[in-house]
Amino acid sequence: MTTCRPFALSVFAKVQLKQTADNFQTKTANLEKRCLELTQELANHQSLVNAAEAKLTEQETDSKQKLEDFQKYRRQTMEALVSDSPRL
C-alpha cells in the first residue's frame, strides 16, 4: 500500500502540472490575441488623430489666408477712402 501512495501522488502531480501548463498556454494565447486587438485599435485611433491633425492644419492655413485677405482688403479700402476724401 505504501508503494501505491507515492505513485498516485506522482500521477496526481503530473495531472495538476499538465492542467496548469494548459491553463497557462490558454491564458497566454488569449493575452496575445488581446494584444493584437489593442494594437489594431491603437493604429485605428492614430489614423483618426492624424486625419484630425491634418484637417486642423488645413483649417489653420485657410484661416490665416482669410485673415491676410481681409487685412489687405481693409487696408485698400482705407487707402481708397483717404484718397477719395476732400482735402481740407
Residue 7 lies in a domain: no
Q: Which residue has the cell 485677405?
A: 69
Question: What is the average per-residue pLDDT within 48-70?
Answer: 98
Cell of 38: 489593442
* Domain carrying residue 39: 16-82
Q: Residue 4: pLDDT band by 50, 70, 90 thresholds?
A: low
In a domain, 21, yes or no: yes
Q: Is residue 5 part of a domain?
A: no
In a domain, 46, yes or no: yes
Give tens-digit pLDDT for 20-54: 999 999 999 999 999 999 999 999 999 999 999 99
Task: Using the structure block, give the residue that is written with the C-alpha cell 498556454.
Answer: 25
The number of folded domains in the chain is: 1
The predicted pLDDT at position 13 comes to 86
9 located within any domain:
no
Give the mean pLDDT of the chain.
90
Confirm whether 88 is domain-assigned. no
Ordered alpha helix ranges (H), 1-88: 4-84
Residue 50 domain-assigned (yes or no): yes
Average pLDDT of 50-67?
Answer: 98
48 belongs to a structural domain: yes
